[in-house]
Amino acid sequence: MKKLINDPRAVVAESVQGFGLAHAALVTVSADPLFITRKNVAVAGKVGLVSGGGSGHEPLHAGFVGPGMLDAAVPGAVFTSPTPDQILPAMLAADSGAGVVLIVKNYTGDVLNFETAVELAEAEGVDVRTVIVNDDVAVEDSLYTAGRRGVAGAVLVEKIAGAAAERGDNLDAVAELGNRVNSNVRSMGVALAACTVPHAGTPSFDLAENEIEFGVGIHGEPGRHRLPVEGADGITDRLLDAVLGDLGIASGEKVLLFVNGMGGTPLQELYIVYRRAAELLAGRGAAVERSLVGNYVTALDMQGCSISVLRLDDELTRLWDAPVHTAALRWGA
């Protein structure tokens, strides 16, 4: 294993410390317990937005802390949920009196630990709503979940709910918008090669040179099928067919198309996937109104990508376009 690390046990702490130093104008890092907040975090009268999960998916979630998105993010160990004693102080820091919305990917450990933190926060008088992200159409249950997994759609939920909070929507309205995005986004991923978790030192699963894992999860969990390698267009066809078959986009509808890298795939390849996906959507009569391409929800150094499609309406489009100023997503500010 060759990685730019020191002690595998210190990877998360040292990475977050470096993130805080690099983006000191945007965020503040709390070292013990470990969490990240937006500078001047508690904006009076504004609903606080908090997310988190296992590390290894960078820039998710810390990279989306800042005006227009999250007020706080809570990183766990690699591919491991943060603990309630990390989540609670992040929630308290994000609360300005208008309540807090939690955005939680649907993994059993995340759900349980965030639920415990909610109970503790409510005991301190914080009003909380939770949005569970479960956009992955690959499998209903996996090694990590009961029900569908939460994957790249989390970025879209965080952006749109964050914009709603920024414009002054109340607690229930922000949560409703988060749930609306989750109900209208679907995702599917593929792995060409496994990732290597630092403390393990070996690839998390084995793929032969002529194999791909179709429907893989962002922790390397198995998906629907192990298939022979094929060209980018064929892989894109399979991914998009699964997404659209579940989402049910009709001719004339407007969508956001999101091609997400898993951490080890060059942008050049992601744009080849985007090109084919855009062609297929146009062929079905869908209008691609907005797009996002890049490494936003990764699985360390996994080679592969995911495709997400979000059904848009006028309000969701306006909220997507609203100004955002974070380390990983920035426009209009």
325 an active-site residue?
no
Q: Taking Cα atoms as reference points, which of 60, 80, 49, 47 lies closest to residue 19?
A: 60
Short-list 28, 61, 23, CA closest to 297: 61
Residue 179, exposed/middle/buried by CB under 10 A (0-12, 13-18, 19+)?
middle
Q: Which backbone phi and psi does 222 adopt, to 5 degrees? A: -65, 155
Active site residue 219: yes
**Is 46:93 a contact under the CB 8 Å cutoff?**
no
Provide the greatest CA pair distance for the chain.
56
According to DSSP, the residues that pair with 256 across neighbouring strands are: 290, 310
Catalytic residue among 23, 57, 199, 325: 57
Q: How far apart are CA 256 and CA 160, in angstroms?
A: 12
State whether residue 82 is helix, strand or coil: coil
* Catalytic hit among 61, 219, 225, 325: 219
Active-site residues: which are they? 57, 219
